[in-house]
Copies of this chain bind each other. A is one copy, B any other.
Amino acid sequence: MKNVLVGQSGGPTAVINASLYGVIKESMDQPAMGEVYGMLNGIEGFINGHTVCLSQLLSNNELELLKATPAAFLGSCRYKLPENLEDPIYPLLFEKFEEMDIGWVFYIGGNDSMDTVAKLSGYAAKVGSDIRLIGIPKTIDNDLVLTDHTPGYGSAAKFVATAVRDICMDSQVYNTTSVTIVEIMGRNAGWLTAASVLARLYPGANPALIYLPEVPFSVDGFFRDIEAEMEKRGNVVVCVSEGVRDDNNILLCEYAQQIAEDTFGHKNLTGCGKQLENMIRAKYGVKTRSVELNVTQRCMASLVSETDLTEAVAAGVHGVNAALNGETGKMIACHRAEENIYQLGYQCVDVSLVCNQEKAFPKEWIIGRNNDISEEFIDYAMPLIAGELPRLMRDGLPAYCCLDTKTLRLR
């Protein structure tokens, strides 16, 4: 009987552990599957021999706690396998798989992580290995192609919409003119920033202006929009993606500062909200504030969407079943039935078609003077943020399941 290996990779989300829960639980329920091992810190940790036996570590109670725990229980990595499948890392990895008698590998992550699954399954095909490799999608950015949406997005969108609604409430307590800029994550894809439209408490309510990275951002146009809104209402709330760029493809945050790049060549963004705050204050002299939602939008588990968590678990479960059915080199994708009632199915898509691709927010859903979001998006997003779950609390704070990666004990 072969064993199972599971890893987590890329940026954490509020429900990535729910997918891990799905993989562990379903694998343990499958008579054909042996022990369930976890890679610590993804494929990078696995290369260095860091694993833990999850099926022996976690009781049922602890598994339930794991499901409600944010961030990556197993730790994560941002590690890119070599392009060349002749690289000696590949036989090394497969020797390790053999040593642990692994039959199935599940890798939970975003488009960079799917690159890992694609390369490993490419190598498996090349050497005739029958190890099955499946990608389980997760990202708050919702930018994976070939899937209706991605587990992790619904909870992040619910957090963004809730936080922006509360910030709008806060912004309008004084009878003055003010501008509040909320900066939302999303390097290239505006899905999460778009979710701020859901924050509107009534038609015409704040946030008044929403800017996505899919269309060029013009500073002049922004000033014109702000002036129009300041005439209409005293307090203007603006939601802006961290990744907005001007006509020349220059990031707004580059206007003020040097930027660094991460190992995947991503630009390390900060401060487009701060940048706009300073520009508005200098030009109009009004009270101005910027709020960067920062990591809270991906890590705060208190506002998890019930739909998202349920689907994150299901993605893990479907991954296990797909692998048992002989699938490999696939990612589990979400398929929405074209009906009035929201209904989600799961299917396998070729992981090599997903990796390193980014699904942009549809331009036709960006309306107004490129400063608002359409009803079509609202219809798309509402089911994804639906439902709340009872929170597991201890002494007034959320209870979580944590792994000490040194001792391999829970704490």
Instruction: Give the B-binding residues of A (Cβ under 8 A).
Output: 8, 12, 40-41, 44-45, 69-72, 75-78, 158, 161-163, 165-167, 169-175, 198-199, 201-202, 289, 291-296, 298-303, 305, 382, 385-388, 391, 393, 395-398, 400, 402, 405, 411
A8: chain B residues at CB < 8 Å are 173
One complex includes copies of this chain to the number of 2
Q: Are A296 and B302 neighbours in the complex by a CB distance under 8 Å?
A: no
Q: Are B174 and A78 neighbours in the complex by a CB distance under 8 Å?
A: yes
A8 vs B175: C-alpha distance when bound (angstroms): 13
Beyond A69-B169, A162-B397, 9 additional contacts (C-beta under 8 Å) are: A41-B175, A75-B172, A75-B174, A163-B300, A166-B296, A166-B300, A167-B296, A302-B303, A388-B391
Closest 6 CB pairs between A and B?
A170-B299, A71-B169, A385-B396, A76-B173, A41-B175, A166-B299
With contacts A175-B77, A294-B292 taken as known, whether A70 is within 8 angstroms of B199 at the C-beta atoms is no
In the complex, what's the smallest C-beta–C-beta distance from A30 to chain B, in angstroms? Answer: 28
Q: Which of B45, B175, B295, B402 contacts A291 (CB 8 A)?
A: B295
Q: Are A292 and B289 neighbours in the complex by a CB distance under 8 Å?
A: no
Question: Most chain-B CB neighbours within 10 Å: which of A75, A201, A202?
Answer: A201
Task: List 21 A–B pairs whose Cβ atoms lie within 8 Å, in order of A's numbering.
Answer: A12-B173, A41-B174, A70-B166, A71-B166, A75-B172, A75-B173, A75-B175, A77-B175, A158-B396, A161-B396, A161-B397, A163-B300, A166-B300, A166-B301, A166-B398, A169-B402, A175-B405, A201-B400, A382-B396, A385-B397, A386-B396
With contacts A388-B391, A397-B161 taken as known, whether A170 is within 8 angstroms of B298 at the C-beta atoms is yes
A175 vs B296: C-alpha distance when bound (angstroms): 20
A386 vs B173: C-alpha distance when bound (angstroms): 28
Q: Are B386 and A162 neighbours in the complex by a CB distance under 8 Å?
A: no
What is the chain B residue whose CB lies nearest that of A301? Answer: B166
A72: chain B residues at CB < 8 Å are 173
A397 vs B198: C-alpha distance when bound (angstroms): 8
Q: Are A170 and B202 neighbours in the complex by a CB distance under 8 Å?
A: no
A122 vs B395: C-alpha distance when bound (angstroms): 44
A78 vs B171: C-alpha distance when bound (angstroms): 14
What is the chain B residue whose CB lies nearest that of A180? Answer: B295
A71 vs B167: C-alpha distance when bound (angstroms): 9
A12: chain B residues at CB < 8 Å are 169-170, 173
A396: chain B residues at CB < 8 Å are 158, 161, 198, 305, 382, 385-388
Q: Which of B202, B382, B395 contacts A382 (CB 8 A)?
A: B395
